[in-house]
């Protein structure tokens, strides 16, 4: 079945630094990738949608200059949290949509802790 | 906003069937019903989806009412590993559609020994 690899699974960074999270579709080409954020005991909140070769579309209230998304190929999207602060600590999850079958596959998530 | 309503939590005895309801009274004709689950600290896992006919796969069965305003996910023989948050999502499906999955609050299913 379709597999999405998300890396790293956990990261701790200092306040003010930037962190990059990678999302790769391993055995399919992803037309579109989605980035979600999840706080403890809450549901997934969609942050942005990215299409290969074009700018990401951000959901209302999500700072595009803080959460930089790059979707340079049909198998790779990256999320960079810039100038991270403790309130950015969260569980970040990516999802890739198969360009042939239009199914959605999720990565295993990245636990970001900003200290 | 999510277009579905689910009970916040349910319990089920191990080995018994777990029946998880979902209300989607405003569903459109071109929208499918999807079910995903999320085990603690992992990414969501696809379970099943359907349009109007009942569907079954190796994981579960999906029963959609004739008016399509509600559905039930059935795990026929729940195990402790089925303890998770279950999300019911409706969205369009089509060859040119790249719509997003919007998650509601889901149902936390606790399978008990």
Q: Residue A100: pLDDT band by 50, 70, 90 thresholds?
A: low
Cβ neighbors of A42 (< 8 A, separation 6 or more) are none
The predicted structure's pLDDT at residue B94 = 58
3-state secondary structure A67-115: EEEEEEECCEEEEEECCCCHHHCEEEEEEEEECCCCCEEECCCEEEEEC
Say yes or no: B53 contacts chain A, CB-CB below 8 A: no
Q: Which of B11, B29, B24, B113 is nearest to B62 (CA)?
A: B24
The predicted structure's pLDDT at residue A111 = 97
Low-confidence ranges of chain B (pLDDT < 50): 95-96
Cβ distance B100 to A49 less than 8 Å, yes or no, reads yes
b/e map B9-32, b = 16+ CB within 10 Å: ebebeeeeebebebbbeebeeebb
The predicted structure's pLDDT at residue A90 = 97
Using only C-alpha atoms, chain A has a radius of gyration, in whole angstroms, of 13
- Least CA distance to A57: which residue of chain B? B100
pLDDT tens per residue, range A10-64: 999 999 999 999 999 998 888 889 999 999 999 999 999 998 888 899 999 999 9
Cβ distance A102 to B87 less than 8 Å, yes or no, reads no
Least CB–CB distance from A44: residue in B94, B98, B103: B103
Cβ distance B103 to A93 less than 8 Å, yes or no, reads no
Cβ distance A109 to B106 less than 8 Å, yes or no, reads no
The predicted structure's pLDDT at residue A44 = 95
Q: Residue A101: pLDDT band by 50, 70, 90 thresholds?
A: low
Query: Cα separation of B2 and B5, whole Å?
Result: 8
Q: Which residues of B touch A102 (CB under 8 A)?
A: 93-95, 97-98
The predicted structure's pLDDT at residue B95 = 46
């Amino acid at each position: 079945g379709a597999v999405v690899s998300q890396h790293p699974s956990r990261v701790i960074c200092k306040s003010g630094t930037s962190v990059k999270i990678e999302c790769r579709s391993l055995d399919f080409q992803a037309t579109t990738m989605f980035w979600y954020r999840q706080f403890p005991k809450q549901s997934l909140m969609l942050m942005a949608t990215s299409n290969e070769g074009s700018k990401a579309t951000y959901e209302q209230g999500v700072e595009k200059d803080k959460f930089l998304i790059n979707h340079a190929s049909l198998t790779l999207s990256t999320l960079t949290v810039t100038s991270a602060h403790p309130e950015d600590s969260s569980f970040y999850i990516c999802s890739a949509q198969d360009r042939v079958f239009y199914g959605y596959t999720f990565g295993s998530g990245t636990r970001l802790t900003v200290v | 906003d999510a277009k579905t309503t689910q009970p916040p939590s349910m319990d089920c005895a191990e080995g018994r069937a777990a029946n998880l309801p979902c209300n989607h009274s405003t569903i459109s004709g071109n929208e499918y019903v999807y079910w995903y689950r999320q085990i603690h600290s992992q990414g969501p896992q696809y379970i099943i989806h359907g349009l109007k006919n009942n569907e079954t796969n190796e994981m579960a069965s999906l029963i959609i009412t004739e008016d399509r305003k509600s559905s039930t996910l059935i795990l026929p023989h729940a195990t402790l590993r089925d303890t998770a948050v279950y999300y019911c999502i409706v969205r369009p499906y089509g060859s040119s559609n790249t719509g997003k999955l919007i998650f509601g609050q889901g149902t936390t299913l606790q399978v008990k020994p």
